[in-house]
Chain A
């Protein structure tokens, strides 16, 4: 069970690393939102699954309530993170930000 928890935590760290590198290196505002919106959501899912396996190792009523609250966090983040990303894109579109073309400098 601990090995499963460690594996999921490492997978989550890999997702978060991809998101951070994408936020640093993407050339444009719109393309920066893509790693920021997707990889953070999936990283939260993987790391919470890892902590869930660690918590459910000693099964009792308390750990069951704690794991249900962790799944509630995942459910809320899966609803809220795409909404926040779409809201930022909408603000950029209405403010008239131009997207990146190939001739532009990074």
Chain B
């Protein structure tokens, strides 16, 4: 069962690379924000899996809960910051 948790965590890390592509090469700033949000929600699950691998779930579950809060607050603050920002329109299409 531990081996299965390990391979699930590896697959989750592989899926994070797809979201990381959108976070690096995204056409506009808000596309990067989508990628960061998706990576954060996968990280919560990854922390729980790491807790099962180390056998100390009762410690890692608090870290996962705190990370969920931090991810939510970071995305909310960043999207409020880009509220009034004009000029996103030109970046949003290629060329």
Footprint of B on A, CB under 8 Å? 2, 5-6, 9, 12-13, 16-17, 19-21, 23-24, 29, 32-33, 36, 40-41, 43-44, 47-48, 51, 54-55, 62, 65-66, 69-70, 72-73, 76-77, 80-81, 83-85, 87-88, 90-92, 94-98, 104-105
Residues B79 and A96 in contact, CB atoms below 8 Å apart: no
A88/B75 contact (C-beta < 8 A), A20-B38, A96-B88 known: yes
Residues B61 and A69 in contact, CB atoms below 8 Å apart: yes
Residues B92 and A98 in contact, CB atoms below 8 Å apart: yes
Is there a chain A Cβ closer than 8 Å to B24's Cβ?
A: no
Can you list 9 residue pairs at the A/B interface with Cβ under 8 Å?
Answer: A23-B19, A23-B22, A33-B34, A36-B38, A66-B58, A84-B37, A95-B89, A97-B28, A97-B30
Q: Is the interface of B mostly helix, strand, loop or mixed?
A: helix
Question: How far, in angstroms, from A16 to B13 measured CA to CA in the complex?
Answer: 11
Interface size on B, residues (CB 8 A): 50
Question: How far, in angstroms, from A83 to B84 measured CA to CA in the complex?
Answer: 19
Residues A24 and B92 in contact, CB atoms below 8 Å apart: no
Chain B residues near A98 (CB, 8 Å)? 89, 92
Chain A residues near B34 (CB, 8 Å)? 23, 29, 32-33, 36, 88
Partner of A21, one of B8, B18, B72, B92: B18
Residues A84 and B75 in contact, CB atoms below 8 Å apart: yes
Residues B89 and A97 in contact, CB atoms below 8 Å apart: yes
Residues B76 and A47 in contact, CB atoms below 8 Å apart: no
9 tightest A-B CB contacts, nearest first: A20-B18, A80-B72, A95-B88, A91-B79, A40-B41, A87-B79, A84-B75, A20-B15, A91-B82
Known: A40-B42, A70-B61, A95-B82. 15 other contacts (CB 8 A): A9-B8, A16-B15, A21-B18, A23-B22, A32-B31, A40-B37, A44-B41, A44-B44, A69-B61, A70-B48, A76-B65, A76-B72, A88-B75, A95-B86, A96-B89
